[in-house]
Amino acid sequence: MSELYNRLQVLEGDTPLSPEERLRAAVRPLLSWYGENARTLPWRESPKPYSVWVSEIMLQQTRVEAVKPYFERFMRELPTVKDLAEAEDDRLMKLWEGLGYYSRARNLKKAAVAACEKYGGELPADYGELLKLPGIGSYTAGAIASIAFGIPEPAVDGNVLRVLSRVLASREDISRQAVKRGMEELVRGVIPPDRAGDFNQALIEVGALVCIPGGEPKCAGCPFHSLCLARRRGLTGEIPVKAPKKARRIERRTIVLLETETQVAIRRRPEEGLLASLWEFPSLEGDLGAEEAREAFGIPPELFAGAEELPEAKHIFSHVEWHMRGIRIRLTAPVQAPADGWMGELIFADKGELWTRYPLPGAFAAYRRLV
């Protein structure tokens, strides 16, 4: 079917274009729109496999503006796959501190180790091999393959699913894997072989700038304008269809800043579970007062120099919300490590080291500021 025929059909109103024909008809307008509207982003300057990979992992669950400074510092400090493979865990976590979803960073390192062992410290120029690396799913494999190597594979994330389901007026639930697989197949069939990276990034860009999440889409400037069935049928408020997520569990915690003049107590979190192996201020389940906290940590009365309530804070994880209150407990004397029993797994860090040395997740940011 010629492109002219497609256009005529489109102008006629509801058309018999198949989903694949509809997308194919959009390839040229999409690429030309991207040429004029692509944002200048640090990872686009010279899209090497390593920088595409790191940026795509950071961009999962995190906004572009928040990612930029993290990306630049990460590439400065760990400029190659080998540097990443050899990075100390705490240093890596410090570079990730505040981005959240720390298992993404752990998988980055695992995959870097595998790339050093299997591919001489490079990422493989092969979609199937990329998919075997820890933390690399079909979206990331497609992004690296297409943007860094020019391989025509799809890179379909939640934002691209929103764009595609609107263009095709698909009411299928985009949180279903089978729906994503179907869209990937569709895209695979229309990617222009010589512009794979630009094509995928153009879809991402439409999702970020035009067909935006949570808000009215800016259809007037959309390269899919005449082709988009959701716009033509007035369905952009109903599509995409996405099954509601389970409500988050709420946990109440009392965060304890146990301080001397120059030090504050921290401890390492368990190796499994939420924020695994990162550092934290000691905390207790529930809403506790100063005296209860003093007892819970077994602080000898002669060391106790006073307590103060701190403001409440909230942190939202994917499945849990922490609703926190804080207590500052002042100790009379500097604590020598290892101390005599009552400290358990606490260590007393110099206050400045909270910023420079110990990776402390963003969940504690509100209290770190008060130290």
85 or 210: whose CB is closer to ligand ADE? 210
**Region 32-51 residues binding ligand ADE, contact defined as CB under 6 A:** 41
Shortest distance, CB of residue 187 to ligand ADE, whole angstroms?
15
Report which DSSP code applies to 286: S
56 or 184: whose CB is closer to ligand ADE? 56
Catalytic residue, chosen from 3, 12, 21, 56, is: 56
Among 64, 114, 366, 371, binds ligand ADE (CB under 6 A): 64
Residue among 173, 186, 147, 159 nearest 52 (CA)? 147
- Residues that bind ligand ADE (rule: CB under 6 A) add up to a total of 7
- Interacting stretch for ligand ADE, rule CB under 6 A, among 78-86, 201-209, 246-254, 276-284? 201-209
Identify the helix (H) or strand (E) that includes residue 324.
strand 320-331
Name the 3-class secondary structure at 321.
strand
Among 17, 78, 203, 204, binds ligand ADE (CB under 6 A): 204
Identify the helix (H) or strand (E) that includes residue 11.
helix 3-11
21 or 56: whose CB is closer to ligand ADE? 56
Q: How many degrees, rounded to 5, is the angle at CA 280 between CA 136 and CA 259?
A: 160
Name the 3-class secondary structure at 194.
coil
**Region 205-244 residues binding ligand ADE, contact defined as CB under 6 A:** 208
- Interacting stretch for ligand ADE, rule CB under 6 A, among 56-64, 175-183, 232-240, 251-259? 56-64
Establish if 59 lies at the interface with ligand ADE (CB under 6 A): yes
Active site residue 292: no
Distance CA 318, CA 70 (A): 21
Among 22, 53, 56, 112, binds ligand ADE (CB under 6 A): 56
Name the 3-class secondary structure at 29.
helix
Name the 3-class secondary structure at 2.
coil
Q: Which residue is nearest to ligand ADE (CB)?
A: 59
Among 138, 146, 165, 201, binds ligand ADE (CB under 6 A): 201
Question: Is 28:13 a contact under the CB 8 Å cutoff?
Answer: no
Distance CA 172, CA 238 (A): 11
Sort strands 320-331 and 249-259 into parallel, antiparallel or unpaired.
Answer: parallel
Residues that bind ligand ADE (CB under 6 A): 41, 56, 59, 64, 201, 204, 208
The residues assigned a catalytic role are: 56
